[in-house]
Structure 1
Amino acid sequence: MDEHTGDLAAVAKRKPELAPESEWEWDSQSESDSQPSPGEAFVGRDAELRRLSRAVDSASGDPVVMLVGGMGMGKSALLDRAARQAEASGVRVLRAEGSESEANLPFSALHQLLRPLLAAVDELPARQRTALQDAFGTGPATPQHASGAPDLLLVGVAVLSLLSALGDRQRVLLVLDDAQWFDRASVDALSFAARRLGAEPVTMLIAARDGDRLAGFDRHVPTLILEPLDNAAATRLLDQQPKSPTGHTRARILDQAGGNPLALVELTRAATAHDVAAGLPSVGPLPLTDHLERIFAACLDGLPAQTTRALLLLAAMDSIDSPIALPAGLPNAAPAGLSDTDDNAWLPNAEYNARLPNAEHNTWLSNTEHDAWLPAEEAGLVRRTGRTIRFRHPLVRSAVYHSASANAQREAHLTLAELLRDEADRRAWHLAAACSGPDAAVSAELARTADRARRRGGHAAAAKALQRAAELAPRRGDSARLLVEAASAAVFTGDLAWVEELTAAARARTDDPALLASAAVQAGRLAILTVRHTTVFSRLTDAAEGWAVSQPAAALGLLADAAVVRFYSGEDAQRRRIHDILGRLPEDASSTGLRTWVRAVSDPFGGREEFVAVLPQLIAEAEARPERLTTVGIMAWLLDETPQAVHAFDQAVDRWQAQGALPEGLGGAVAWAYVERGRWDEARESCARTTAVGQAAGLDHAAACAAAVDAVVLAYQGDTPAARARADEALALIDPLESRSVAVYARRALGAAAAADGAYVTAYDQLRLLFTADGAPVHYHASFPALADLAAAAVRSGRREDAAAIVERCARALGDNASPRLHALLSRARGLLADPEHAEPHFRAALADPVLAHWPFERAQSLLDLAEWLRRRRRIAEARAPLADALEIFRRLGARPWIERARAESRAAGLDVMDTAPDALAALSPQQQQIIRLAARGLTNREIGEKLFLSPRTVSSHLYRSFPKLGITARSQLRDLLDGVLASTAHQE
């Protein structure tokens, strides 16, 4: 089989659709009536069922509901009832059921869920279609992405698009059972879609075990916890059983079950049907799961050998494999033509194999003459649904598997590996399960499985395969190398504890300095994206110090990560620690660029002139190595060389698609640079991407960074409620003492929102928190750009003296190292705070350097301040030109509060300011403005959704609400409308 074609592709081509297996229902009638009727209420679960039904039936219900409970509490039965009710009312139901052994196959759960929709994948936009096909292993052999893996966010957008399109025809219900066993790649894609279902006629019901909250489904997802049944409900359930227990046996069952519905039913069945009540403990309960497993295992006694073997084979396999694997457990019942002397004795013959894709021809299941399953059915271990054999409950599978000897288990897995020899990934895992000790060949098979998983974006699956490969590698050196590779893959899951576990295991297996250094770098790469800054910094710098002599390149890489943490935390002692270790590292030409980057990130104003001087060379070198463009752009942004930063970021997107599976360290710099250059829509797109990745990977700090930047833009655009919500979200995700940068940015957003609302006392209070009690900056970089806004709020709130002291203290701290941008902001602040007769030189200085046009919003604010000062000095004619310039910039940016302020000042200056189209555009929400601008460029709803991580339906809804506000009726009018806006702002006033 082509290694670029995933096993899922083969499964999709030849395996029949399998009905989802529901958790054991609570009654114990015969198989034909084991499902509760649609009108029958579950014992003790009426409220939960009503809650699920309300979520499915109501357009205003929660789009996602999580059902949590232990095994046997009835999660699957509730999901099944909700699904059948939905289907009866015309809702389209899509199901997926987690499988413990499929948790290592990337996108297997998503494939199972979307399999009925695979034909619709061809109708997706090209990039979405390619991403989803790559994920399922059905894409082209040559990867379409620089990383060699599908774009995971595009996979999420593709899922959202599929569900949205299906929802256009009918309501949709997604039923995700045993989700604790879903593979991580599927969970990431589904959680991405789940957060965007608010405007869609789609409901997602998820069942998971206690303690198994899914990554990406945050704490705000509505959760139903299935508690044990109370005594009254438990008694009613026992009364419904065909042989209701009585007397002492009844009391012992009630006591032993502890309100678990499955335990109540199964202990009753065991006590009455199998006469094992005497085996129940006389005092005190055993652990419930262990006890039930023992009861199920007791049911195996006396079964025919071929039945026991068939059960073990079923227990060792995935349900998706059963159509080809089950015949191997029935040598006496195999179809005609199967020979025990044949080399393929355990495989169906060619005729049978040809029939396999057509489930109607799998007649071996109904071969009653040699039916090995009949005794298992009669013992209550399996149930037959049409042509499918399933265990009645996962506990049965567990009992069957663990009651077998190690040799029997091994033989079962070897049989399955032979049967699945054309499906390399499944075969590799069965071979691994059959290994009782090191095995170089199987280790190599798992390593190849990991490589295929990585190419499909299944980083968690790759890491698990490499971890198991390391366990089977005979040589300790190979084992350590595989563990470091596993850590490298696990980095992209966002699970820092797992990465640290893998790196610790690698350290225990090798003394190889290069390998150990690589392990430390892998852990550091992820650690910088978490909120544990103090702990992470200590680990990074301690490791860097330890490798300074033997592995200086690795030590420098660790210091680069430590510099990022220093930026996030803002702790000055960390700067000194970094520079101390950096001074011990040998200098060579190959490390000059990274050394400069470390110094610039940890202290951008300490040697600004030197850093700016080498920046052109670093940018030129990065153009030849585009993976470095984002890194150099971050350095340029820190130095207030924003035009060069934006140029680097643009090139990175165009030439390399810099967005990877995780945000870059200091990835928020990209969004900030776009904010400063006035490209606010692109800034918000960058924030949307980082938010999506951060949430999917469980990286709260990355999501907080994006939320803070997004909040600032929303405040500038006048959507102050949304700005405050995003800022509060950022603050809730971090510890402000651990992450001073994010705290400062969030406070800047809250200050800007208050100023936009005219609440200047509140604005000052928020901005004052960016500085210590004695006026020093809380953060060595993020606090300084807020000085002018602090001064503006101080003037309007009576805090002029306090603000002046802060401004002058910061000016002294910066000295001659301040950038032209910061010089301009300091000048503006001094002009605002100065006595009126002394303000003009400061305002003029804030506008003197032509380079300041690269920060349009800040320039427009300075223009407006100067114009207001001139008008109040009765120099009205002089005020008109800066007023017109400021109004034009504010309109172009969509800064609604400042537009209104500039318009009011223009009228006071005698300018004839008419209500024109820009005001109509400004009446839209910031997100609506983004959508309108993209639609005017000719993008379709799906293409807009890709950019903003929205569904096409949500885009359509925003357009529908925007058109009346703009006075248009057709999409074709948008380009003319925006051209008119630009033209009017170009010549107005």
Structure 2
Amino acid sequence: MVRGGDAGPPVIGIIGREEELARVRRLLDPADTDRSPSLLVVGEPGSGKSTLLDVAAHEAEDRGLRVLRCRGHEAETGLVFAGLHQLLGPRSAEIQELPGPQRDALLRAFGLNEAEPAGAAGEPERLLINLAVLTLLSDAAYRRPLLVVVDDAQWLDACSLDALAFATRRLAGEPVSVLAAARSESVPEQFGAEFPRLFVPPLAEAAAGRLLDVQPFPPAGPLRRQILRQAAGNPLALVELARATADSPASLADGAVERLPMTARLERIFADRLARLPEDTRRALLFAAAADDPDLPAALLASSAAAPDGGIEAWLLAEKAGLVSLDSGRVTFRHPLMRSAVYQAASFAARREVHLALADALAGNPDRRAWHLAAAALAPDETIAAALEATADRARRRGGYRVAAAALERAARLSPDPHRQAGRLLEACDLAMHAGRPLWVEQLTTGVVAATDDPDLLTEAALWTGWALGATTRQKAALSHLLPLAASTAGTAPAVALTAVRHAAIVIYNMGDEGYRREALDLLARIPTDAGEDPDQTWPRAALDPFGDRPGHLRLLDRALALPDLGANELNEMGACAWVLDETATAVRLYGESMEHLRRVTTAGSNATLGQALAIAQFESGAWDAAEVTADDARRVAAENGLDMAGRAARYVGAALLALRGDTGRARELIDRAVAGIDPAESRALQARALAVRGAIATAEGNHPLAYELLRGLFTTDPDPVPLHYHASYYGLGDLAAAAVRARQRKDAAHVVDSVERRLAGRMSTRLTLLVHRARALLAPAHEAEEHFQTALAGPAGEQWPFERAQTRLEYAEWLRRRRRTGEARTALTQALPVFERLGARPWVARTTAELRACGVTMPAGREPARQVERLTAQQLQIARLAASGLTNREIGERLLLSPRTVGFHLYQVFPKLGVTTRAQLRDALNDAELG
């Protein structure tokens, strides 16, 4: 806060906020190429965030920028797209110019078009809505540079936040800046780490003193010291304490006011000021405090209905008291805490009267009416609960899962029938799960347990609790719910038991704990094989024992895939089954089909759990560029939705790609973040992957003893080495053997390989068989090595894993060259090199080209096309390939969830990197680069 006087103009400059203002102003400078296009201003209530945004907006307008603004409202967090309507609703003419599907979806989101989507009745439309926002902002910026200002983002409804975050992430390179502010204790999860933050700290004492000096009645002496001490550098507290104590300095000078938490202290000040206002003014303020922003006109009419002067005097007194500002028929509280104080200071009877009046005034808007009736409810009321349930259904059909879950949760609280209450809470669990909110699901299930003793409902609640715990890092807690539930229902409700084991299987895979795995396998043996459908049986059996009955698992997978109309969840589980069985190409296909389902019918456009699994499969199948894009998207979605384990797995993929491409510093940072704060005993799968990545980093840096030490950690040091993880550990065998050769640890590594072969005799997949032969070839005596090399390279099956095959070819070539068989070595090297170049595996490219030179091959000075492609980011390469295939910018944007102008911006950067000037040249340039 920097405003002085009751109704005077803003103080020139911002007292004590010079550095913060300079940072905000960078957003407005298009010549600053190093600036970020977005900035989130974070601070405690009253720290001056809104003032910074106001100054930025005024300066932006002075510079000729177009400014779009919206502000979160505490009472609107439960209303779908309320914030977005505030931001874009006045742009009706521009909305009409949108592509038809986007326009119609956005109008439906605003309640202006009740028609169902053509051909997709009832399906959520969040993707189209988000694309509409992206297109609107992009098109607006094309006409004139744009600044989007979002204040009090912590109170913006979730759907609006999702849409704004979606657009912001995809507006790179366009003349659009996004400036938002949120309270530090409640930053929306949509504003993840990719949004730069500006923390607004408390004012220094000198700046705080200057702010007191410009107040209408500057305090002095002991009172001044008391205010400075109690305000603790908070600008709003300084201003409000100075105002509130202007007529009673003695009490504060004597230290009569306690040191309370800031929010409570300020609300108490506001309440004291309210008490001195006439009843009519307090009632008018309560209407404004209780109303959602779109409801404010109705609130103003209702509050003034009984006043002979239309309530003008009441509002003038409120403005004079410094509680609100009046502008063009609108009422704005000077600070959100003032709104809260007004509402909390009123009795329940007064609040109820206001909410009932607002409900009557909003009879034509059933959603807003339902929430006001709920706020006025004295006791459980089925009529109101049913109205909220209908609101939830409308929100769900528009993709507002979080809002729908909140409405159902409130409906449950108002349900007179405990059984109905529990049922609504369970429906809310399903919606909260789709919203990716595991902690919320857990809270909802707690309510179910308190509401009912119905065994069926309690069983369903236990399943949801297990899912919620498993989606976070509380793996043991998840199993403590799921495994006993499976044990208790295996004989009486086998379908429930199977569902519990299915949920437990992914947790057990992540943990890699042998005790839990054996317990789950024993439970699975007790569940009839005809319980559930084939897809229900396939995943847990393969996940818990991938090497136990591989032929049986594959038969079950084939039967499941033959079923018609498999949904996204079934495709996801079948993809996971194929992946764990090393049917990698099938896994990529199934995961991709599942992702396409989700992109058509869900709110987020992608699912973090599915995304990280697809990224791993793409990585293993040699689609590294696609894996990078998929993993980055999965990590972002996981961060936005609290899906911790999925986010960690996505970081692993990113770290593995960086390590194998030679960017060891970033790889080390990313894998450290992936495992930070997690108990290794509760996540052996992630621990095994981290060891593999760190081993690859050490190898790339030439530290072979460290690489061997790390990779050796994949197996215990027992006389018969046991894998750290019953599945993930085995895939490090080849790299373990390669590091052993350079670290002079052949004997120890051979002991590990011997143990693996004994343990998995006759049960290995093709991939694992090839890896074992690679390891044997590296570790065996010279007279045995070639047979293993040739077996590892025999047949086309190994081409499913191109990087692993290229590694084996390189190692075979090195073995051949040492035996002066340079002709054969050159053949293997020329087969391996294009793979390494295509993948961007620079350390392996360097090693292969060195071997070719040692074989007498004169290497070209540059291999320029490959270097040109390496200069492209993963997203630029993806856009270039789509453009080369003939797609337009708009078609590419729809596929990649980018605006057409962003696509054009990326292509503008791609052309000089590839040495082309037209789209027609892209295909040849990319083909030349990838063929080397």
TM-score (norm 2): 0.89
Aligned counterpart in structure 1 of residue 423 of structure 2, from 481, 484, 494: 481
In 2, distance between residues paired with 1:658 and 1:550?
38
**Counterpart contact for 1:891–1:918, Cα < 8 Å:** no
Q: CA deviation at 1:695?
A: 1.8
Judged with a 3 Å threshold, the aligned counterparts in structure 2 of structure 1 residues 27 and 645 are, in CA distance, closer, same or farther, namely closer
In the alignment, structure 1 residue 447 sits paired with structure 2 residue 389: yes
Distance in 2 of aligned mates of 1:824 and 1:865: 14
In the aligned structure 1, how far is the partner of 2:66 from the partner of 2:130?
20
Unaligned runs of 5+ in 1: 1-24, 335-366
1:29 counterpart residue number: 5
Aligned runs of 1:852-891 on 2, under 5 Å?
852-890=798-836
Q: What pairs with 1:307-318 in structure 2 (closer than 5 Å)?
A: 307-318=281-292
Which residue does 2:715 correspond to in 1? 771
Contact 1:652 1:658 in 2 (8 A): no
Q: 2:116 aligns with which of 141, 150, 162?
A: 141
Aligned equivalent of 1:963, options 894, 907, 911: 911
The unaligned stretches of length 5 or more in structure 2 are none
Per the alignment, residue 812 of structure 1 pairs with 758
Matching residue of 2:67: 93
**Equivalences, count:** 923
Provide, for residues 132-160 of structure 1, a one-character-per-residue CA deviation record: whole Å limited to 9, x for no partner. Answer: 566555675137779922355x7666655
Aligned to 1:924: 871
Q: Residue 207 of structure 1 aligns to a residue in which SS? A: strand
Structure 1 SS opposite 2:761: helix
Instruction: Give the secondary structure class of the aligned counterpart of 1:839.
Output: helix
The Cα shift of 1:738 comes to: 2.7
Q: Which moved more, 1:394-403 or 1:962-971?
A: 394-403
Name the SS for the 1:68 alignment partner. Answer: strand
Partner Cα separation in structure 1 for residue 480 and residue 101 of structure 2: 42
Distance 1:91 1:793 in 2: 58
Residue by residue over 1:708-758, the C-alpha shift from the partner in whole angstroms, topping out at 9 and shown as x without a partner, is 123334444555555445434423474444322223334433444554566
Q: Does 1:824 align with 2:753?
A: no
Give the corresponding residue for 2:729: 783
SS, match of residue 106 in structure 1: coil
Match of 1:46 among 18, 26, 45: 18
Following superposition, the deviation at residue 228 of structure 1 comes to: 4.3
What's the counterpart of residue 438 of structure 1? Answer: 380
In structure 1, what is the Cα distance between the partners aligned to 2:467 and 2:473?
A: 13
Deviations 1:172-225 (A, max 9, x none): 433322222122233334445555667555444333234223214346865444
**Counterpart Cα distance in 1 of 2:916 and 2:699:** 33
Cα distance change, pair 918–258 in 1 and its aligned pair in 2 (3 A): closer
Q: Tell me the distance in 2 between the aligned counterparts of 1:243 and 1:831.
A: 87
Distance apart, 1:761 and its partner CA: 4.8
Q: Compared with structure 1, are the counterparts of its residues 939 and 731 closer, same or farther at alpha carbon in structure 2 (3 Å cutoff)?
A: farther
Query: Structure 1 279/942 Cα, relative in aligned 2: closer, same or farther at 3 Å?
Result: farther
Residue 636 of structure 2 is matched in structure 1 by 692
Deviations 1:215-250 (A, max 9, x none): 143468654444444554444333322233455655
Q: Answer yes or no: is the 8 Å Cα contact 1:83–1:93 preserved in 2.
A: yes
3-state SS of 2:179 partner:
strand
Q: In structure 1, what is the equivalent of residue 693 of structure 2?
A: 749
What is the distance in 2 between the residues matched to 1:762 and 1:954? Answer: 44
User: How far does residue 556 in structure 1 lie from its aligned partner after superposition?
Assistant: 1.8
- What amino acid maps onto 1:552 in structure 2? P
Partner of 1:727: 671
Match of residue 711 from structure 1: 655
Q: CA RMSD in A?
A: 3.6
Does the Cα contact within 8 Å between 1:936 and 1:975 map onto a contact in 2? yes
Question: Does 1:672 pair with 2:623?
Answer: no
Structure 1 residues 291 and 790, CA gap change in structure 2 (3 angstroms): closer
Aligned to 1:322: 296
In 2: Cα distance, 1:893 partner to 1:231 partner: 57
Question: Are the equivalent residues in 1 in contact too, given 2:611–2:631 (CA < 8 A)?
Answer: no
Per-residue CA distance 1:842-900 (angstroms, 9 max, x = gap): 01111234322332332333333333333433334444544443345445555554445
CA 1:808–1:939 in 2, change beyond 3 Å: closer, same or farther? farther
Alpha-carbon distance change, 820 to 707 in structure 1, aligned in 2, over 3 angstroms: same
CA–CA distance in 2 between the matches of 1:626 and 1:246? 68
Q: 1:793 maps to which residue?
A: 739
Residue pair 1:429, 1:446 contacting (<8 A) in 2 also: yes
Distance 1:123 1:723, change over 3 A: farther
Which amino acid is 1:438 matched to?
Answer: P
1:177 aligned onto 2:151? yes
| Structure 1 match to 2:547 | 605
Tell me the SS of whatever aligns to 2:725: coil
Name whichever of 92-101 and 195-204 sits farther off.
195-204
SS in 2 for 1:94: strand
SS of aligned partner of 1:244: coil
Cα 1:466–1:848 shift into 2, 3 Å: same
Which one is further off, 99-108 or 176-185?
176-185
Bigger Cα displacement from structure 2, 789-798 vs 268-277: 268-277
Closer, same or farther: CA 866–127 of 1 in aligned 2, 3 Å: farther
> Counterparts in 2 of 1:407-422, with a 5 A limit?
407-422=349-364
Render the CA deviation track for 1:420-455: whole Å, top value 9, x for unaligned.
122221111011111111111110111111112222
- The one-letter amino acid of 1:700's match is D
Shift in Å, 1:72? 2.9
User: What SS is found at the alignment partner of 1:816?
Assistant: coil
In the TM superposition, what is the alpha-carbon distance from 1:316 to its structure 2 partner? 1.5
**Equivalent position to 2:464, from 522, 526, 534:** 522
Q: Is 1:701 aligned to 2:645, yes or no?
A: yes
Structure 1 residue 122: deviation in Å? 6.3
Using a 3 Å threshold, how does the CA distance of structure 1 residues 312 and 198 change in structure 2: closer, same or farther?
Answer: same
**Which SS does the other structure have where 1:605 is aligned?**
coil
The 2-side partners of 1:655 and 1:278 are apart by 64
Q: Quick one: structure 1 residues 682 and 225, their matched pair in 2 at CA, closer, same or farther if it must change by over 3 Å? A: closer
Q: Which range moved further: 942-951 or 563-572?
A: 942-951
Q: Distance in 2 between matches of 1:214 and 1:769?
A: 39
Query: 1:113 aligned to 87, 93, 117, which one?
Result: 87
What secondary structure does 2:502 align onto?
A: helix
1:299-322 Cα offsets, whole Å, 9 max, x none, are: 455756554433332222123222
Q: Structure 2: which amino acid aligns with 1:822?
A: L
2:682 to 725, 733, 738: 738
Q: C-alpha distance in 1, partners of 2:138/2:685?
A: 38
Contact 1:896 1:922 in 2 (8 A): no
Asked whether the equivalents of residues 945 and 951 of structure 1 are also in contact (C-alpha less than 8 Å), the reply is yes
Match of 1:497 among 433, 436, 439: 439
Structure 1 counterpart SS, 2:77: helix
Q: Give matches, 1:537-552, under 5 Å.
A: 537-552=479-494
Q: Match of 1:461, as an amino acid? A: V
Aligned-partner Cα distance in 1 for 2:228–2:213? 12
Q: Distance between the aligned counterparts of 2:312 and 2:100, measured in 1?
A: 51
Structure-2 residue corresponding to 1:386: 328
Q: CA deviation at 1:528?
A: 2.4
8 Å CA contact 2:612–2:647 kept in 1: the answer is no
Kindly provide the CA deviation profile for residues 688-725 of structure 1, in whole angstroms up to 9, marking residues without a partner as x: 33223112112232122122123334444555555445
| 1:388 Cα deviation from its structure 2 partner | 1.9
C-alpha spacing 1:714/1:239, structure 2 compared with 1 (3 Å): closer
1:69 deviation in Å? 3.4
Distance 1:658 1:793, change over 3 A: farther
In the alignment, the residues of structure 2 paired with residue 505 and residue 858 of structure 1 have an alpha-carbon distance, to the nearest angstrom, of 51
Number of the residue aligned with 1:331:
305
